[in-house]
Chains A and B, each alone.
Chain A
Amino acid sequence: MLAFWRIIAASFRQYSTYRVATVAGVFTNSVFGLIRASILLAAVSTAGGELRGYDALQAATYVWLGQALLAPVEAFGTREVAERVHQGDVAIDLLRPLGFLRLQYAQKLGRSAFLLLARGIPPMLVGAALTGISLPTDPVAWLLGLLAILLAVTVAFLADMLVNLAAFWIVQTRGLTVVYTAVMNLLSGFLIPIAWFPDRLIALTRATPFPAMVQTPIDVLSARVSTAEALPEIGVQALWAGILALAAWAVLQRGIRSLEVQGG
């Protein structure tokens, strides 16, 4: 367990050294937040001040929370594990006395913790200043919000890991990553709220793990759902985390097996 925390701390420190990247990220997050807020606010106002449960302030809050979560959940996917598999560096990871997924998860948590603070908070401040946002005042809602973020990060990590682990069998996984992030960005409710989807797509989307990555933490943090409603939502997140963890573990075992049998 100590190793797990040490790696989280190290990963946090590591990302805190990328200062230029952080500043650049905050800037683009804020600019795109402004663009997205303008579009969504226009849609809400065209619809007569309210669109499927979102008024202007809620729509703005939705946009800025989404911008804040973008970096910690790594909505644009990662490629590091796939590259380590392709270049054979995964051998080094397998020779560590710590499980591969635990190691990766610890690194992800450290990274996400830093990104949440450094790239999550500034766009929220920009949003608060420019469009206004509404956040919960109840400490319980905040606590649930943080839990929802942790689970969102976990679910996104595991799904992204499954895409990366395809590298054990596929020589080039870039295409897969592109398709995955396109689907994820839409179905997670990052681009537009899931409530704005056509009804059939809503039903379909609800049956996937994607809403657990973005829409759920936004709903909990923007108090669009009450505390009583938030708990089942968080339960669904936890369920997806469990299912995907099992899937990632099973795929990893097969990947390692094929590495052992076929050679790297």
Chain B
Amino acid sequence: MTIHDTTHPAIDLRSLRRDYLVRSGPLGRRTRRVVRAVDDVTLQVRPGEAVGFVGANGAGKSTTIKMMTGILQPTSGDVRVLGRRPVAERRRLAREIGVVFGQRSQLWWDLPLRDSFRILGAMHRLSEAERVRRLGRLVEGLDLEEFLDRPVRQLSLGQRMRGEVAASLLHSPRLIILDEPTIGLDMISKEGLRRFLREDREERGTTLFLTTHDMGDVERLCERIVVVNSGTVAFDGPLAGFRESLGAPRELIVDLASPREALALPPEADVLAVEADGIRHRIAFRGSEMTVPALLSAIGAQAEIADLSLAEPAIEDLVREIYARGR
């Protein structure tokens, strides 16, 4: 197997486990406790895939990323990233991956943003021509031009994050790992960042691994979602099938042509609410148990439908559901 082999996984985690030893209490009567942050995570990511790694605080997301980047040694199990062992080959791996920790900065705080790219270009041994060309693309795609000459400490959070992402992409890494890249950003900044990440992936076929609390990031950027709960993988599958496979309730909202107090519905459907004096009916049903046409024909047999809309469950709700099941 060679490192540039594209048939092998970009990320390969096998039975990954990580314990922390937590000391607490006053000196002398100090107690030690083992906390398992990651417990048996197995996960393969193919080159070019975009994976959203989702879970609550303390679910083990950051610990997993630290093990993937070589900052943390697994307690047991095996990690390979781009075919490398992260802890042993951290610095070599650093040349091939781009990492953004949303809560930390890799930029030079007191220098103009432009200078950080100059230093990073030299660190990654880019030629002047390569650096200028790549930076040009990043400046255009992430809209950095207006604050390129401003010291990083003076940038707004949104501007700084765009700078951080540009810094992680400057050396055209094959894998980018983003840990909470949109935390604290407003909608417009989030959208700008996501749009560019999509473009860059389309252009270069980069593998993307993303942790986030923002389901919008996953929906806009990822094809695959992995949900972690208490250090284990609670769900792993394509985003498209995420809702169906979970069978979380969908919601049908029908407006009737003339009011009715109640509709007789098949047992699989539940009436959530009847609003506007019997005009609007909100009905919950599970996609796995009944189809929309079946439900509509049942309603159509009783009343004339003036309008209808279908609400899909939000991913947040689905993750919550996974968590509830896991308990």
A175 at the B interface (CB under 8 A) = no
Taken together as a complex, chains A and B put the C-alpha atoms of A96 and B119 apart, in Å, by 11
Q: Are B73 and A91 in touch, CB under 8 angstroms?
A: no
Whether A92 lies near B123 (C-beta < 8 A) is no
Q: In the complex the two chains form, is B110's CB within 8 Å of A95's CB?
A: no
Bound-state Cα–Cα, A88 to B18, Å:
18
B195 within 8 A of A: no
The docked-state distance in angstroms from the alpha carbon of A264 to that of B62 is: 11
Q: Which residues of A contact B108 (CB under 8 A)?
A: 10, 14
Answer whether A97 and B71 are a contact pair too, CB < 8 Å, given A88-B104, A263-B20: no
* Chain B residues within 8 Å of A94, by CB: 70-71, 90
Known: A6-B122, A10-B119, A17-B151. A97 touches B111 (CB 8 A): no
Q: Which of A58-66, A232-240, A254-262 contacts B (4 or more CB under 8 A)?
A: A254-262
Q: Which residue of B lies closest to A2 (CB)?
A: B122
A206 contacts chain B at the CB level, 8 A cutoff: no
Say yes or no: is B124 at the interface (Cβ < 8 Å to chain A).
yes
Bound Cα distance A264, B111 (Å)? 27
Tell me the complex Cα distance, A119–B244, Å. 68
- Residues of A contacting B123 in the complex (Cβ-Cβ under 8 angstroms): 3, 6, 96-98
A97-B72 contact, Cβ under 8 Å, with A6-B119, A10-B108: no
Interface assignment of A174: CB less than 8 Å from any CB of chain B: no
Contact B110 A14 (CB under 8 A): yes
Which chain B residues border A96 with CB–CB below 8 Å? Answer: 94, 106, 123
Q: Is A99 an interface residue when CB atoms closer than 8 A count as contact?
A: yes
Q: Which of B71, B73, B91 contacts A99 (CB 8 A)?
A: B91
If over half of A's interface residues share one DSSP class (helix, strand or loop), that class is named, otherwise mixed; here it is: helix
User: Is there an interface contact between A14 and B111, defined as CB atoms closer than 8 Å?
Assistant: yes
- Tell me, yes or no, whether B84 is within 8 Å of chain A by CB: no
Whether B94 and A3, one on each chain, are in contact in the complex, defined by CB atoms closer than 8 angstroms, is: no
A91 engages B118 (CB within 8 Å): no
Asked if A7 CB lies within 8 Å of chain B CBs, one says yes
A-B contact count (CB 8 A): 79
Residues B104 and A260 in contact, CB atoms below 8 Å apart: no
B interface size (C-beta, 8 A): 32
The reply on A229 being an interface residue by CB < 8 A is no
Asked whether A13 is an interface residue with its Cβ less than 8 Å from the other chain, the reply is yes
Q: How far is the CB of A39 from chain B (nearest CB, A)?
A: 37
Given contacts A89-B104, A92-B101, A95-B99, contact A260 B87 (CB under 8 A): yes
A262 to B71, CA, bound (A): 10
B21, B63, B125: the one within 8 Å of A262 (CB)? B21
Q: Chain A residues near B21 (CB, 8 Å)?
A: 262
A5 to B121, CA, bound (A): 12
Contact B71 A10 (CB under 8 A): no
- Separation of A264 and B119 alpha carbons in the complex (Å): 26
Contact of B71 among A13, A17, A18, A260 (CB under 8 A): A260
* Chain B residues with CB under 8 A of A10: 108, 111, 115, 118-119
CB distance from A263 to the nearest CB of B (A): 5
Residues of B within 8 A of A97 (CB): 91-92, 94-95, 123-124
Q: How far is the CA of A14 from the CA of B21 in the complex (A)?
A: 40
User: Which residues of chain A (66-117) have a CB below 8 Å from chain B?
Assistant: 88-89, 91-92, 94-99
A38 to chain B, nearest CB (A): 37
> Once the chains are docked, how many angstroms separate the CA of A30 from the CA of B72?
48
**CB-contacts of B164-203 with A (<8 A):** none
Chain A positions within 8 Å of B104 at CB level:
88-89, 91-92
Within 8 Å of chain A (Cβ to Cβ): is B229? no
Query: A155–B66 Cα gap in the complex (Å)?
Result: 33
With the chains together, A261 CA to B20 CA distance in Å?
Answer: 9
Q: Which of B20, B95, B104, B124 has the most CB of A within 10 A?
A: B104
| Given contact pairs A260-B71, A263-B20, a sample of 12 additional A-B residue pairs in the complex whose CB atoms are under 8 Å apart | A3-B125, A5-B122, A7-B119, A7-B122, A10-B115, A13-B111, A14-B111, A91-B104, A97-B94, A97-B95, A259-B72, A264-B71
- Please list 15 pairs of residues, one from A and one from B, whose beta carbons are closer than 8 Å in the complex, sorted by A's number: A5-B122, A13-B111, A14-B108, A14-B110, A17-B151, A89-B105, A91-B69, A94-B71, A97-B123, A260-B72, A260-B87, A262-B21, A263-B18, A264-B66, A264-B71
